Homo-oligomer: A and B are copies of this chain.
Amino acid sequence: MDTNAPIKVYMTRKLIGVEPDDTIKRACEVMVEFDIGSLVVIENGEVVGFFTKSDIIRRVVIPGLPNTTPVKDIMSSELITVDSNTPLREVLDLMAKKGIKHMLIREGRRIVGIFSLSDLLTASRRRLETAIAAE
């Protein structure tokens, strides 16, 4: 893994989102369907919020909210983002410091992708496969 490479090399460009009035239940079904740990919340083509499985554990399961609650009630509206040219090492460092496992990636003012620890696994496996293929 080249930790000096920009995060855009490792991020996922496909952002999977729900709408502010979608229910927690619907959001969870989308997470299961796509096997992802976080979702962006999109309104009029703009990312207005973000939440992870951990946020659902913390803000829905522990307080015992019904799964019919709209996602806008539990999403984070303050988005933590980094520029797509930030080196992987800086992103990992920032994630560790902030205790987060997903990072939104921006180009200019636009959110263009997401990086999660699963992407690290994918990259590690890809490198591994390259190494095996070269043997």
Contact = CB atoms under 8 A, between A and B. Distances in A.
Interface residues on A, range: 35 or more
Q: For the complex, would chain A's binding face be called helix, strand, loop or mixed by DSSP majority?
A: helix
Nearest to A32: B58
Interface in A57-99: 57-58, 60-62, 64, 66-67, 89, 92-93, 95-96, 99
Given A28-B62, A61-B56, A124-B1, A118 B101 contact: yes
A131 B40 CA distance: 35
A13 interface: no
Contacts of A32: 54, 57-58, 62
A107 interface: no
B53 A124 contact: no
**What are the 5 tightest A-B residue pairs by CB atom distance, in nearest-first order?**
A117-B117, A53-B53, A64-B67, A28-B57, A28-B61
Interface of A: 1, 3, 24-25, 28-29, 31-32, 35, 37, 53-54, 56-58, 60-62, 64, 66-67, 89, 92-93, 95-96, 99, 101, 117-118, 120-121, 124-125, 128, 131
